[in-house]
Amino acid sequence: MTNPADWSSSRLGYRFADEHLLRQALTHRSAGPDNNERLEFLGDAVLGMVIARALYDLKTEAREGALSRYRARLVRRETLAQLARNLDLGQYLQMGSGEHRTGGHQRDSVLADALEALLGAILLDGGFPAVAEVVQNIFHDLLDSLPLEADLVDAKTALQERLQARGLPPPEYHLLQATGAAHARTFSCCCRLPDLQLEATGSGNSRRQAEQRAAALVMEQLGDDG
């Protein structure tokens, strides 16, 4: 395993002048007080800013609502965690033995937070132009393959809008079970429409994903007459 500074240079395309900032960004709160929580706060803000500007330039015809949905899709936890995995970020995280033993270095929330902390550290170390370039590099493929605006509305939103149009109450979501190790959980959720006596169960690696899949199955049951 290369040292963190070389990893940052080769995978993020950024060489830290102050390597303490890099170490802090890679330190989980379970490892001590000099951790990445404050940097994560900063990184979250700058990430949203850079992505917003990129979308503004790319999607010149999109209205505010669509731009917000694009941004939410790009900066959500699942997306950031996958980008962190692509960068092999997890193997460089410093954390307490208990957290590491339970697979914390593979957990979506930990990886997403660490990626944001790295961006915060780059902002402090190299300024806004440096962090903007890193974000553009990391998100290049995602920005280059954004879905059509019509495909942005997720299943839960589409289902709720469909029910509202008919004057029906919103769907009910219930967590049925969560199984597996902490870093590889599988969730099962039920989406239920009591007034229409419809329900479906979906599963995924997050509760949100399971609910989305359950909602999509209910939408299929509603069909064109829903």
Name the H helices within 9-144.
Answer: 19-25, 37-58, 64-75, 77-86, 97-101, 108-126, 128-138, 140-144
Characterise 161 by phi-psi region: left (phi > 0), alpha (psi -120 to 50), beta (else).
Answer: alpha
CA torsion 84-90-92-97 (nearest 10°) is: 150
Q: Are 12 and 89 in contact (CB under 8 A)?
A: no
Q: Which residues are catalytic?
A: 44, 116
The two structure tokens encoding residue 27: 């330190």
What is the longest distance spanned by two Cα atoms in the chain? 61
Taking the C-alpha atoms of residue 60 and residue 62, their distance in angstroms, rounded to an integer, is: 6
Q: What is the CA radius of gyration of the chain?
A: 20
- First and final CA of the chain: distance in angstroms? 55
